[in-house]
Amino acid sequence: MTRRWVGPALTALVLAGAVVLIVFLPRMTSEFRLGQFTYVAIYFIALLGLNILTGYNGQISLGHAAFMAVGGYTAAVLILGQEGFKLVGQEPAEIIPKHGITPIWTIPIAGLVTGVIGYLFGLPALRLAGVSLALATFAVAVSMPAIAKRFEHLTGGGGGLSLPLPEAPFGWDISPPHWLYYEAWGAAGILFVVAWLLVRGRVGRAWRSIRDGEVAAVSSGVSPAVYKTLAFGISSAYAGVAGALFAIQNSYINPDTFPLTLSILLLASAVIGGLSSLSGVIVGALVLEFLPIYAQEPPVFDVNFAKQAAPVVFGVVLMLIVFLMPGGAAGLLRRLTRPIVAAASRRS
């Protein structure tokens, strides 16, 4: 007899372990390390969104850092308000609210704003697919810094915007880095559940059906226009939330905070984690945060590579993964756990 609950039970166990680890990690590590794990949560969110778009819906985005920038600027401008904005020596645009908003509320707003912009971008992108879509999104990422510099009344121009470190709310007695860590992982947890609910049901199936065969999807009643733009909107909303958290954690944003290379590394990490699987996303996020750090200063060999070494190492790892583990980390995990699940299911 097969036991259908073994697989889900294993998943639940791993998830519970992950939650415990995330909650207790701050006690086990330095504040500096903690900051790195906050970035892991931020990348995790961005990669969840990118995976929805590219992994589940098959639309390649080489410009996701630009959507993060939209979220980052939205949060920064809302946190500062016109009063704070004036400190950078620029005249703030009219649409910026007079007074700043509590940072945490700027995160969902940034998600919403970026989601709408991504949705609007998804409309013309409907005419594109494959390489042309990759190029179009790439173009967005390329032009983003110039656009940010041009609209200095909204973005502070090249000088950027400095943000205050947010205090924990409700008189909670923890330091700002700890608060940011919990805030980022809280958002990551919520958005993970949302992504999971989306991809496992009717919407996720519609996304994947379009990816696998648009004609058959249409004939089954799936509207490509509706679901492709929806994927763009939701994916961008995730990027916006990630960008807002990034700006807050970074205490600073300028046109180079979300560079072109980040867009490329995001896509690479999504592939490394495994496309169209949520379990691998955490691996992608860890790789995206820590690989560049270790690529610069490998702990094993006593050498210091140049700063530029990181993308090279990233590229090599990516190539290895594409050739050796086509499903990414998630695919490897599936292959490793399948025998365990199968064995456990067989025993009665």
Partner 1 sequence: MALLAVENVTRRFGGIVALADVSLELEQGAIGGLIGPNGAGKTTLFNLITRLYRPNEGRIAFDGKDLTRTPPHRIVRLGIARTFQSVVLFQNMSVLENLLVGAHARLRPFSERRGRKQALETLDYLGLGGLAERFPGGLPFGTLKRVELARALAARPRLLLLDEPAGGLNHEEVGELGELIRTVRRDFDLTVLLVEHHMNLVMSVCDHVHVLNFGRTIADGPPEDVRRDPEVIEAYLGASDSAAA
Q: Within positions 224 to 283, which residues make up the interface with partner 1, using CB under 8 A?
A: 224, 276
Nearer to partner 1, 102 or 223 (CB): 223
Nearer to partner 1, 139 or 216 (CB): 216
> Any contact of residue 64 with partner 1 (CB under 8 A)?
no
Q: Which of 186, 201, 315, 326 binds partner 1 (CB under 8 A)?
A: 201
Q: Which of 22, 69, 206, 271 binds partner 1 (CB under 8 A)?
A: 206
> Any contact of residue 218 with partner 1 (CB under 8 A)?
yes
For the bound state, the minimum distance from the C-beta of residue 150 to partner 1, rounded and expressed in Å, comes to 39
> Any contact of residue 219 with partner 1 (CB under 8 A)?
yes
Part of the chain binding partner 1 (CB under 8 A), chosen from 12-20, 61-69, 119-127, 210-218: 210-218
Taking the C-alpha atoms of residue 314 and residue 47, their distance in angstroms, rounded to an integer, is: 16
Q: Which of 164, 213, 315, 326 binds partner 1 (CB under 8 A)?
A: 213
Q: Within positions 126 to 145, which residues make up the interface with partner 1, using CB under 8 A?
A: none
> Any contact of residue 59 with partner 1 (CB under 8 A)?
no
For the bound state, the minimum distance from the C-beta of residue 225 to partner 1, rounded and expressed in Å, comes to 8
> Any contact of residue 11 with partner 1 (CB under 8 A)?
no
Q: Which residues bind partner 1 (CB under 8 A)?
A: 201-202, 205-206, 208-209, 211-213, 215-224, 276
